[in-house]
Chain A
Amino acid sequence: MKIRFCLNGKNLEIETRPDRRVVDLMREDLGLTGTKESCGSGECGSCTILVDGQARLSCIMLAAQLEGRSVTTIEGISGEEGLHPLQEAFIAHGAVQCGYCTPGMVLTSLALLGRKPCPTRKEIREAISGNLCRCTGYQKIVDAVKTFASERKVYQR
């Protein structure tokens, strides 16, 4: 079937099977391999994408569910002018190790910041608790999100 949605700011019409997993659509069909897959069953958060600003797990979503939606993947976060300041904060705070959970972590954090601009450390920890990381122990990720949120005015200048 034909599916129309907005992907990383661009309107798109694609022909695909309605039951195609969104993670396969992104990675295999559209070449957006920044969306990772790790468990295939909604347990780890590696495949997180933003659908209308909400963090969603693309490994348990089907293509038809994207109809008319606005989708953001990690590739759509940084613009022509460079990295998103949250990505800068991840670098500055050493929040990236193997990097496999990183795209999902960034997107889940952005969804949190969208609904709660100044979260506490506890709120950040709760928000990313569906995103597993095996390298960092999460602390530096929390540091990055917290610092970004606190210094947002500086970033947004």
Chain B
Amino acid sequence: MKDTPLEIGRAAPRFDAYAKLTGKEKYASDFYAPDMLWAGVKRAGVPHARIRWIKTDDAIRIPGVLSVLTSKDVRGTNRQGVVRKDQPVLADDKVRHCGDPLALVVAEDRETLAKALASISLDIEPLPGVFDPENAMAQGAPLVHEENPEGNLLLKGSLEAGMGEKGFEECDETVEALFRLPSQEHAYLETEAGWAIFKDDILEITASTQSPFRDRYEAAEAIGFDMHKVRIIAPYCGGAFGGKDGITVQSLLGLAALNNPGRPVKMWWAREESILASAKRHPARLYYKLGAKKDGIFHALSVRIYFDTGPYDNLGGAVTALGLEHSGGPYRIPNTSLKAWAVFTNNPIGGPFRGFGVPQVTAAMEQTVDMMAKSLGISPLDIRVKNALRRGDRNPAGTTLTGSTGIGECLRKISASRLWQESETWKKASPPFKKRGAGLASAMQGMGYGPLIPDTANAKIELTQEGLFRVFCGVVDMGQGNASTYLQIAGEILNQGLSGMELVLPDTARTLPSGSSSASRTTFTYGNALITASKTMKKRLLERASDLLMAKGPEEMTLVPGRVRHIPSGKEMPLSALAGILSDAERTSVARYRTPSAKDSPTRDPNLSLHGIPHIVFSYAAHAAFVEVDTLTGLTEVKGFLAVTDCGRVLNPQIFEQQIQGGIAQGLGYALCEELKTDRGVIRTPDLGTYIIPTSIDLPDMESAAVELHEEMGPFGLKGAGEIAMNGPFAAVANAIADACGIRIFEGPMTPERVLGALEKKPSCQEEG
């Protein structure tokens, strides 16, 4: 079965499944060696403070402690970040959130490490903090970065189309609401981990990361070491979802290893440390106002969005820009005024998380759409279909859609589904004290980095001496299965099965720079590069084999698993034999691909373009949630869920479904139970016992279908599928609860407490319509 050539469009078992199922796969957290050291960090524990003194003498005197390092020992810039470099490796002047690292300890074992960390005392002067994004922009608010000329503002963005706000003057109906969305923890099961060794003048760092090539220069610059002597190795991640898109342990490990040459040093954050120190989905406050004509045609949209980015950029500007660009949803709205602010606070760090700003705006927009439908007496489905974007339209951000645009098809497929068709009957059959409702949401997700940052991948494939095709995977597989899809792409072109292929995981010394595993770009960008590399390889192999076998030309030749065949004579040559004849240069093929950018200029603000606006390729989805609300307890159970997705052609139906189901699961957690609670910057849900992610009994069986429109630019017609499913569930559930009970919860997640509270208030202001 492993010899069966891989084919595009057919479900193939994942290449990584065997090693993961047998426990053989080595994640970054799985490294141990007899001479291994442990590194750990002393964290601030207070949200805002000036650092006077870090007392390390007691720690360094503990037997088995090798190093106790502070910012004074950092030789580089001591600043990390992708766009704005503002996050210290070890805090120097100030503490800006509770998770800031102050001292790095390296010890012989974990017990000694813990003892040493506990013995470090901090002399710090508490400063007034700022914990609300709107207050943070007020005059006189405490400043998170005193040197920032814009106070606590990280990024401000504005997009205007048509008549902007004036468009409301021509509307028959207007609805308005304020939505509050919580911070969401990634809760990847493998917490931040890695190990490093400084040997033979090379600093080698193995880390659970989504971005090894970027980490390499970011860490090198921050700790002051020659980038060319830094090697980053990125094994499969035990989950990442955006939370490992950037530096976590890398610089600290580099620092630890440089100070302890020749010995491997490991760092592995405990769950509580992970929740304390890692970036999370931005909490957001969104003011929405939508105007429409009597017939339900959208005419004007005004949006003000505040993203709490915590103390550091951490791609928060880019997250905000993507939220802004998607804030009007997949609809034609001729007059828009869209504004967003990313604001520094002393709350936990806001950063990339599957959807990258889009789940927040979709939660708000899609509820606003339902409110409009209700006001006008139009069904939620009809109003969406009426306004759904088509190819050639401009989206609310002002970008002309030149590629496949399947939101209309997604909605029609929902409408025709059994679940939707039977929903009225199902709702009527609700048990005592329970109410049932169905809710819809549309969603879209742009792909890639946008116009300015080159969205590039460099693929490499080699025919080994053994006659196997070795794919040098340049983009991390954080669990989504892109590495398997790369083999499938190469296998399809070279007509090989899994047994004829090998994989090299991202490693800055072996694979080629191909960007981060993020932005729904992973298969799109690297896949396109790999198609070219594989086709070049195929052409060369057929040409050389044709000469060797005295054929008339390569058109008489074909590749079969493990061999090349001369079709007219039936003569075959093993690929290993062919490989033996070829030079090293001939056995390798490389190709580069850069995702094109949109030709519109919806913004003249160069800062917004830098942060990614506009995108040109979008995936779309329509989601339907079927919920049952217990009117006695307020508990909402999702009884059914249907997702119809347009992410172009599906290359591997099983991997596609994995992404959709997983995205829905995280989206339902976001909607119903996940809330990172903070009190003046201090996290009140510090572990998995208090921060609740969905378990197997909290989720329904989900249905998923694809609208397989061909995307011209995509590899074999594909568009990214990694993020889109995260965006719809919140609003679909909110709309279903409104359908069931006539209440709308304007603050997420929609916990039993909030639902019950709204049910009790129902006769007054909370009631809809």
* CB interface residues, A 115-137, toward B, < 8 Å: 121, 124-126, 128-137
| Cα–Cα, bound, A39→B478 (Å) | 19
At the interface, yes or no: A31 with Cβ under 8 Å from chain B? Answer: yes
- Which listed segment binds B: A62-70, A89-97, A148-156? A89-97
| Cα–Cα, bound, A81→B325 (Å) | 54
Interface of A is mostly: loop
Q: Which residues of the partner chain B approach A39 to less than 8 Å between Cβ atoms?
A: 271, 687-688
Q: How far is the CB of A76 from chain B (nearest CB, A)?
A: 9
At the interface, yes or no: B662 with Cβ under 8 Å from chain A? Answer: yes
Which of B23, B32, B237 has the most C-beta atoms of chain A within 10 angstroms of its own C-beta? B23
Partner of B236, one of A43, A94, A99, A136: A99
B22 touches A34 (CB 8 A): yes
B32 touches A91 (CB 8 A): no
| Cα–Cα, bound, A36→B237 (Å) | 13
| Cα–Cα, bound, A95→B571 (Å) | 42
Partner of B664, one of A77, A103, A121, A137: A137
Closest A residue to B110 using CB positions: A24
| Cα–Cα, bound, A135→B11 (Å) | 18
Q: How far is the CB of B565 from chain A (nearest CB, A)?
A: 31
At the interface, yes or no: A58 with Cβ under 8 Å from chain B? Answer: no
A137 touches B190 (CB 8 A): no
Closest B residue to A128 using CB positions: B696
Report the count of interface residues on A (CB-CB < 8 A).
55
Q: Which residues of the partner chain B approach A103 to less than 8 Å between Cβ atoms?
A: 21, 23
| Cα–Cα, bound, A59→B511 (Å) | 36
Report the count of interface residues on B (CB-CB < 8 A).
55
B662 touches A44 (CB 8 A): no
At the interface, yes or no: B168 with Cβ under 8 Å from chain A? Answer: no
| Cα–Cα, bound, A75→B661 (Å) | 28
Closest A residue to B667 using CB positions: A137
- Known interface pairs A134-B187, A138-B696. Does A91 touch B14 (Cβ–Cβ under 8 Å)? yes
- Which listed segment binds A: B281-289, B396-404, B439-447, B651-659? B651-659
* CB interface residues, A 55-113, toward B, < 8 Å: 73-75, 77-78, 83, 87, 90-92, 94, 96-103, 106
Q: Which residues of the partner chain A approach B236 to less than 8 Å between Cβ atoms?
A: 98-99
At the interface, yes or no: B695 with Cβ under 8 Å from chain A? Answer: yes
A97 touches B697 (CB 8 A): no
Q: How far is the CB of A136 from chain B (nearest CB, A)?
A: 6
Which of A27, A36, A97, A141 has the most C-beta atoms of chain B within 10 angstroms of its own C-beta? A97
Q: Which residues of the partner chain B approach A16 to less than 8 Å between Cβ atoms?
A: none
- Known interface pairs A136-B658, A136-B661. Does A34 touch B187 (Cβ–Cβ under 8 Å)? no
Which of B186, B238, B271, B702 has the most C-beta atoms of chain A within 10 angstroms of its own C-beta? B238
A97 touches B22 (CB 8 A): no
| Cα–Cα, bound, A39→B695 (Å) | 15
Partner of A32, one of B16, B23, B699: B23
B662 touches A137 (CB 8 A): yes
Closest B residue to A33 using CB positions: B30
At the interface, yes or no: A11 with Cβ under 8 Å from chain B? Answer: no
| Cα–Cα, bound, A138→B699 (Å) | 8
| Cα–Cα, bound, A43→B189 (Å) | 11
Q: Which residues of the partner chain A approach B655 to less than 8 Å between Cβ atoms?
A: 94
At the interface, yes or no: B746 with Cβ under 8 Å from chain A? Answer: no
Give how many A-B residue pairs fall within 8 Å (CB-CB).
172
Partner of B697, one of A34, A41, A96, A129: A129
Partner of A96, one of B21, B187, B270, B699: B21
Closest A residue to B664 using CB positions: A137
Q: How far is the CB of B541 from chain A (nearest CB, A)?
A: 31
Interface of B is mostly: loop
| Cα–Cα, bound, A128→B657 (Å) | 21
Q: Which residues of the partner chain B approach A31 to less than 8 Å between Cβ atoms?
A: 32
- Known interface pairs A41-B687, A94-B655, A139-B661. Does A132 touch B23 (Cβ–Cβ under 8 Å)? no
Q: Which residues of the partner chain B approach A34 to less than 8 Å between Cβ atoms?
A: 22-24
Q: Which residues of the partner chain B approach A133 to less than 8 Å between Cβ atoms?
A: 189, 696
Q: Which residues of the partner chain B approach A126 to less than 8 Å between Cβ atoms?
A: 696-697
Q: How far is the CB of A6 from chain B (nearest CB, A)?
A: 18
Closest B residue to A35 using CB positions: B23
B480 touches A134 (CB 8 A): no
* CB interface residues, B 370-403, toward A, < 8 Å: none
| Cα–Cα, bound, A37→B189 (Å) | 8
B478 touches A102 (CB 8 A): no
Q: Which residues of the partner chain B approach A90 to less than 8 Å between Cβ atoms?
A: 17, 21
| Cα–Cα, bound, A125→B270 (Å) | 27
B238 touches A99 (CB 8 A): yes
A96 touches B20 (CB 8 A): yes
Partner of B32, one of A33, A46, A130, A134: A33
A96 touches B271 (CB 8 A): no
At the interface, yes or no: B650 with Cβ under 8 Å from chain A? Answer: no
At the interface, yes or no: B769 with Cβ under 8 Å from chain A? Answer: no
A43 touches B26 (CB 8 A): no
Residue-wise, chain B 653-697 has the 8 Å CB interface mask toward A (1 for contact) of 011011001101110000000000000000000011100011111
At the interface, yes or no: B241 with Cβ under 8 Å from chain A? Answer: yes
A94 touches B189 (CB 8 A): no
Q: How far is the CB of A79 from chain B (nearest CB, A)?
A: 11
Closest B residue to A46 using CB positions: B189
Query: Which residues of A does B touch, CB under 8 Å?
Result: 27-28, 31-41, 43-44, 46, 73-75, 77-78, 83, 87, 90-92, 94, 96-103, 106, 121, 124-126, 128-142
Q: Which 4 A-B pairs have the closest CB atoms?
A: A34-B23, A98-B479, A99-B20, A100-B238
Give 24 pairs: A residue, B residue, CB < 8 Å, sorted on A.
A32-B23, A33-B27, A36-B189, A36-B238, A43-B688, A75-B23, A78-B22, A87-B21, A91-B17, A94-B658, A96-B16, A96-B21, A97-B662, A98-B20, A98-B236, A98-B237, A99-B479, A100-B189, A103-B21, A106-B21, A134-B666, A137-B661, A138-B699, A142-B701
